[in-house]
Amino acid sequence: MRILVTGGAGFIGGHVVTALRAAGHDVGVLDLLHPAAHRSPPPDADRVDVRDRAAVAAMLDGVDAVVHQAAMVGMGVDLADLPEYVGCNDLGTAVLLAEMARVGVRRLVLASSMVVYGEGGYACPSHGATSPAPRAAADLDAGRFEPGCPACGAPLEPRDVDEGAPPRPRSVYAATKVAQEHLAQAWALAGAGTVVALRYHNVYGPGMPRDTPYSGVAAIFRSALAAGRAPRVFEDGAQRRDFVHVTDVAAANVLALDAAVDGFRAYNIASGRPTTVGAMAATLAAAMDGPAPVITGDHRAGDVRHVVAAPGRARAELGFTAAVDLTEGLRDFATAPLRAL
């Protein structure tokens, strides 16, 4: 197939391009080379903005499907970034969808995120499945990290989050990801084509951007260890995440192109083997022969406590199972090149 990958110069997009080419697809790349992610872009790369209708239309010529990875990521460092997030992520998606409809490109694979869920799934011992409110600063300051039951205040037990959970965005970035999904869903409902939305969990691997305000925690820990410093683990280190290797995420994108979906369908893309941030830090520190992690008790505004995926739908419907074991993946990651911005 001829595929257009937006954001193909980025961390995940670059791996997606490689995997699609390895699977025999003819791949074109569209990338804004946004200065927040590409301070020194490769000199031979073309800069194309997904908000530029004419440029997007030209790149859609002869294309069978679009894999849309282009987005500003991270939690938003400053509310002043709000228009840029909405512009890149939502206006960009709207322009892409409009041009795809006009040209007749009927297949979209959308890079979404587990951030659409806000907190993961939870159950109260007395009240069953529930969804906690954002944690109060006073609780976090006092070291009470586990969210409480909205009905009785008892600490909740984390559960896998599945794709049926309603969206509860907790950041500007998360809100733009929910809006991307909703726009794509409306596009599919209008009969323009089919959409596979891949909700990535915590992606790590070679080529990850170095320690920046936008980096995921694996790159932050890796950069600290490379400088001889201990990883600084927030809260009590028991917060749970699902770290999924970027080559597995790329493989999920390849599978998504062939998925037999009707309209719009979302999938958790995760390893299915969750861990705690403290355990991930300890494994990476051991792999790098570095100082043991320090549990700081600090907390970050807007952080969620546990987000752990139910990976069953992606396995059943896309045939996706993550291949990379976390310990092995972190061992490779310990020496893999990161990307300087």
Helices (H) and strands (E) in the chain, counts: 11, 15
Closest Cα partner for 239 from 299, 165, 162? 299
Report how far residue 253's alpha carbon sits from residue 282's, in angstroms, rounded to the nearest whole number: 30
Sign of the torsion angle spanned by Cα atoms 131, 136, 137, 138: negative
Report how far residue 59's alpha carbon sits from residue 53's, in angstroms, rounded to the nearest whole number: 10
> Which of 216, 272, 290, 329 touches ligand UD1 (CB under 6 A)?
216
73 or 284: whose CB is closer to ligand UD1?
Answer: 73
Closest Cα partner for 304 from 36, 113, 127? 113
* Nearest residue to ligand UD1, scored by beta-carbon proximity: 217
The CA R_g of the chain, rounded to the nearest whole Å, is 20
Q: Is 217 in the site for ligand UD1 (CB under 6 A)?
A: yes
> Which of 260, 300, 301, 337 touches ligand UD1 (CB under 6 A)?
300
Q: Is 264 in the site for ligand UD1 (CB under 6 A)?
A: no
CA dihedral 93, 95, 98, 99 (to 10 degrees): -110
Distances in Å between the Cα of 182 and the Cα atoms of 146, 189, 197, 258 are 30, 10, 10, 22
Per-residue x/- track, 92-121, ligand UD1 (CB under 6 A): ---------------------xxx------
Which of these ranges, 19-27, 48-56, 59-67, 194-202, lies near ligand UD1 under the rule CB under 6 A? 194-202
Residue 232 CB coordination number (10 Å): 15
Per-residue x/- track, 303-322, ligand UD1 (CB under 6 A): x-------------------
59 or 333: whose CB is closer to ligand UD1?
Answer: 333
Q: What is the DSSP letter of 309?
A: B
We find the least distance from the C-beta atom of residue 44 to ligand UD1, in angstroms, to be 28
Helices marked H in 171-324 — which ranges? 172-189, 217-226, 246-256, 277-287, 312-313
Which of these ranges, 49-57, 86-94, 232-240, 247-255, lies near ligand UD1 under the rule CB under 6 A? 232-240
Q: Is 220 in the site for ligand UD1 (CB under 6 A)?
A: yes
262 or 300: whose CB is closer to ligand UD1?
Answer: 300
> Which of 89, 93, 180, 202 touches ligand UD1 (CB under 6 A)?
202
We find the least distance from the C-beta atom of residue 1 to ligand UD1, in angstroms, to be 27
We find the least distance from the C-beta atom of residue 14 to ligand UD1, in angstroms, to be 16
Residue 339 has which token pair?
Answer: 């990307």
Closest Cα partner for 271 from 324, 319, 318? 324
Which of these ranges, 53-61, 89-97, 158-166, 210-218, lies near ligand UD1 under the rule CB under 6 A? 210-218
Which of these ranges, 7-15, 38-46, 69-77, 264-272, lies near ligand UD1 under the rule CB under 6 A? 69-77
The CB-side HSE value for 259 (13 A sphere, CA atoms) comes to: 32
With residue 241 as reference, give the H or E element that holds it.
Answer: strand 240-241
Per-residue x/- track, 5-34, ligand UD1 (CB under 6 A): ------------------------------
We find the least distance from the C-beta atom of residue 330 to ligand UD1, in angstroms, to be 14
We find the least distance from the C-beta atom of residue 222 to ligand UD1, in angstroms, to be 11
Q: Is 233 in the site for ligand UD1 (CB under 6 A)?
A: yes
Residue 34 in contact with residue 13, Cβ under 8 Å? no
Residue 73 has which token pair?
Answer: 């990521």
Question: Which positions lie near ligand UD1, rule CB under 6 A?
Answer: 73-75, 113-115, 173, 200-203, 214, 216-217, 220, 232-234, 239, 241, 277, 300, 303
